[in-house]
Amino acid sequence: MTGRYRAVGEPWLRGERLDQLLVYDETHEVTKEYWQLLKETFMPNQAKNSVVLASGGTDSTLALVNAMHDNPGGEVHMLSILYGQKHKKEIEAAHNIYRHYANIDDPVIKNGSLVVAHRVIDMGNPFAGADSTLIDFDKGQPQLSYLEILESEGPSPTVVPFRNANLISIATAYAIINGCGLIYVGMHATDAHNWAYPDCTPEFLGAMANAIYVGSYQEVRLVFPLIWMHKVDVIKQGYALGIPFELTWSCYEGREKHCGLCPTCIERIEGFRQLGVADPVPYEVNVRFTL
């Protein structure tokens, strides 16, 4: 690894609780060997129940498959949360993904684990009054890439303030109540780049991991296996693991097809384009997936 390294976590945890510390450089890169060392040291190959924050998108679906592969023989709970977003397409997608993995018999894909539940929790609208285009019905979605938004307008208008802290906290309570020792989330490096979404950064997730571990009587750990991956890496690994991309939903709009113009659609399209494969979901606009 190269660059300037920093450690996430309180100094008093850095010896015994090394799993809660993630070392990274300025480009959010980490060696495969280091990540494998963390998994082998602190996530032994034993049955352990897990809960996955499931948004119905590509990232959380890959996190779900990681949970199945990491914990053979364990139970996997999918948890989706309504927080006042404009549509429920992502919840519908998450349930379709749950049905897919709950009924599939492929031992290679499931690795002996059982996807046992899909729970939907309605928070109401705790973010009412925020300017986010995800929850404000009077605001339209931007038709720009995340990079263009960052360069022209600063923080993305799609940011929901401190959303992931609330969602992860609910997942933690669910994990404690239902006997799950691991929480999987799908934040990745593109979300964290230039702090576009501060609650997707390694700094934030490391701090949440520490708080969860302490607040759960050292029973629950937060796992974010995609944090060093960009969207193209997510899609590439997803294909290798047989993810049903046709069931996933990414678009900020809630119409029948993906709009193809909002930031998350643009990011998704670019990921498939970089990989050189066509996205199986339909779009409202014509999309070329060849460079």
pLDDT score recorded for residue 133: 67
Domains of the chain: 45-275 (3.40.50.620)
Q: Is the pTM of this model over 0.85?
A: no
Neighbour-count burial for 248-283, b at 16+ CB within 10 Å, e otherwise: bbbbbbeeeebbbbbbbbbbbbbbbbbbeeebebeb
pLDDT digits (tens, 9 = 90+) for 99-128: 999 987 776 666 778 899 999 999 999 888
Task: Give the residues of the chain that fall short of pLDDT 70.
Answer: 1-47, 107-110, 133-134, 136, 142-155, 291
Helix ranges, 131-217 (H): 146-153, 163-177, 189-192, 202-215
Q: Which one, of 163, 174, 188, 201, lies nearest residue 84 by Cα?
A: 163
Residue partners of 156: CB distance under 8 A and separation at least 6:
142, 146, 149, 150, 196, 197, 263
pLDDT digits (tens, 9 = 90+) for 12-50: 233 333 333 343 333 334 445 545 555 555 554 444 899
Distance, CA of 242 to CA of 228 (rounded, Å) = 21
Strand order in the sheet with 75-82: 114-122, 75-82, 50-53, 182-184, 221-223
Q: What is the DSSP letter of 158?
A: T
pLDDT score recorded for residue 136: 64
